[in-house]
Amino acid sequence: MIKLLKNFIKDFNIKNKSTLLSISGGIDSIVMAEIFNEAKLKFSIAHCNFGLRGVESKKDEIFVEKIAKKYKVRFYKKKFDTIKYSKQNNISIQMSARNLRYDWLNHVSEKNSFSKIATAHHINDSIETFMINIIKGSGISGFHGILYKNKKIIRPIMCLNKKMIIEYAKKKKLKWREDLSNKKNKYQRNIIRNKVIPILKNINPSFEKNIKNTIEKINQTEKIFYKYIKKIKNEIFYFRKSNYYINIEKVKKEHYEYIYILILEIIKKFKFNYSQTKKIIKIEKNGKIVESKKWKILVDKKLWVLNKKKKKKKKKKKKKYKKNIFFCLIKN
């Protein structure tokens, strides 16, 4: 296993460079820290306290700080008001924690010149993400699972599954913190992990291996897909002055058999979804305007025009001046 990991880690180009490890205190991140230490790689430890488990969250923080002292590395910590952030941004607790975590890790990394940020995602996490995205109805980019590297973010133990991680931790006699909330089926991911996947493994014991191979194939397919999309996009999509244009006539003549997905890949960055894309393509009347939150498309048989919606000027409310009663009494 160590040989597998060393070969995998080589691909990250982190030798003689300092990496910021995101350590929660759970078995996955503790194993990642031990592997970095064993491989004699330079690293520091960062811990996010999301304040979601009361005293247990504080105990996690203290535990991870002790781990940093054990390895004699720098330690960074941050406490967040995750529930407040969730309400303010109208997003789930899990998405809030994710946003807060990566924003802060990037901030620490930039401030302290770390070459990479490492998280302890593994094969099982990637499979769960794949399953969640199937339920959501994601496109091809949602089916590649969790990427083992994405810009500055790396996942050094992505070549391991949960069973391998547990075996390594026990062999090394490592200590870690158990997050009991992972066993509760409160969140979507926990339901997938605790209920759905065990049923699928019961149907096919090779389920995890098969999905892992599927994810790898989708990753390669995705690269071919976007390479081809880019080629066609250069032929039919262009920017002039303040507008974007799509040569829809050319698309219908030469690429009609996959027109929906082609157009979606062009206009999704303007916040148009798949259902809207299908409706727009079916419009036959010239001059029809379809809007997303910030953009609008003027539909024509030959050319579509995309431009940004103008912000509506807020009407200034007339200030109502209350009479100063005291002033009036003096005056009278």
244-256 pLDDT per residue, tens: 999 999 999 999 9
For the chain, give the longest Cα–Cα distance.
95
Q: What mean pLDDT comes out for the span 99-109? A: 96
User: Which token pair is 90?
Assistant: 């109208």
Q: According to the model, what pLDDT value does residue 320 have?
A: 54
Give which of 267, 268, 230 is closest to 248, Cα–Cα.
267
Residue with the two structure tokens 């003027």: 298
Sheet holding 304-308, edge to edge: 237-240, 243-246, 304-308, 295-299, 288-291
Q: Looking at the predicted structure, is the pLDDT value of residue 76 above 80?
A: yes
Q: According to the model, what pLDDT value does residue 63 have?
A: 97
What is the architecture of the domain spanning 2-212? 3-Layer(aba) Sandwich (3.40)
Q: Looking at the predicted structure, is the pLDDT value of residue 184 above 90?
A: no
pLDDT, one tens digit per residue, over 120-142 is 999 999 999 999 999 888 888 88
Q: Which residues in the chain are classed under CATH 3.40.50.620?
A: 2-212
Q: What's the burial of 119, exposed, middle or buried (CB within 10 Å: 0-12/13-18/19+)?
A: buried
Residue ranges of E strands in the chain: 19-22, 43-49, 75-79, 116-118, 149-150, 153-154, 237-240, 243-246, 288-291, 295-299, 304-308
Identify whether the C-beta of residue 61 lies closer than 8 Å to the C-beta of residue 49.
yes
Q: Looking at the predicted structure, is the pLDDT value of residue 104 above 90?
A: yes
Q: The pTM is what?
A: 0.82
Q: Looking at the predicted structure, is the pLDDT value of residue 80 above 80?
A: yes
Q: What mean pLDDT comes out for the span 48-64? A: 93
Give the 3-state secondary structure percentages of the chain, helix then strand then coil, rounded to 5: 55, 15, 30
Provide the residue type at 46 as one letter: A
Q: Looking at the predicted structure, is the pLDDT value of residue 2 above 90?
A: no
For residue 35, what is the enclosing H or E element? helix 27-38
Q: What percent of the chain has pLDDT over 70?
A: 92
